[in-house]
Amino acid sequence: MQTIRSKASAPDAPRTGAKVLARDALPLLAGAAVAVGCVGAMLALVGLDSPLRGPFTLFFLIAAPGAMIAAALPALEPWGRAVAAVAGSVAVNMLVAQAMLALHIWSVRGGVVAVTVLSGLVLLLLEARRLRRRAARRRAS
C-alpha cells in the first residue's frame, strides 16, 4: 500500500500564488467590513441623509449579528459557519423588529441600537467563556 503525503513548503520559500494573496488580503477585507459597518451604524444613529446610509446600515444589520453567530460556532466548516451566520443574522433582525413592533417602540435608531447591544453582549459572553476555559486549563496543568 502506498501512502501519499503532501510536501510542505519551506518557511523561507518565496510566497506566491492566489491562495497566499487571498490569505494576506483577508485582514484588510475584515477591516474594511468593520469600517463600513461602523459608518452604517453611525449614519443611521445620526440620521444624516446620505445615499450610502441605506446600504451601509443594511450591511451593519447583517454583519453585526452574523459576526456574533459565527463566533459562537467555531467548530463548523467556514462555508457552513457563513451560511449559519447569515441565516441567524436575518432571524435576529426579524426578532428584534418584531419585538419592537409588538411593544410599539419601533424606530430605525432603536433597531440599530438593539441589534448592536444584543450582538455586543453575546460577543462579550463568548469571550468571558473562552477566558474562563483558558483559566481552568491553566489551573488543571
pLDDT in tens, 116-133: 999 999 999 999 999 999
Q: Is 6 within a domain?
A: no
Q: Return the higher-pLDDT residue of 3 and 102.
A: 102
Q: Which residue from 33, 58, 32 is spatially nearest to 112, judged by alpha carbons?
A: 58
The answer as to whether 3 is a domain residue is: no
Which residue range(s) make up the domain with 111? 19-140
Query: How many domains does the structure of the chain reveal?
Result: 1
Nearest to 118 by CA among 51, 49, 72: 72
Q: What is the mean pLDDT of the chain?
A: 88
In a domain, 116, yes or no: yes
Helix/strand number for the chain, H first, E second: 4, 0
Q: How confident is the model at residue 105 (pLDDT cuts 50, 70, 90)?
A: very high
C-beta of residue 97 within 8 angstroms of C-beta of residue 106: yes
Q: Which pTM value belongs to this model?
A: 0.78
- Is residue 73 one of the residues assigned to a domain? yes
The SS3 assignment for 52 reads coil
- Domain assignment present for residue 14? The answer is no
* Average pLDDT over every residue of 74-103: 95
Q: Which residue has the cell 490569505?
A: 23
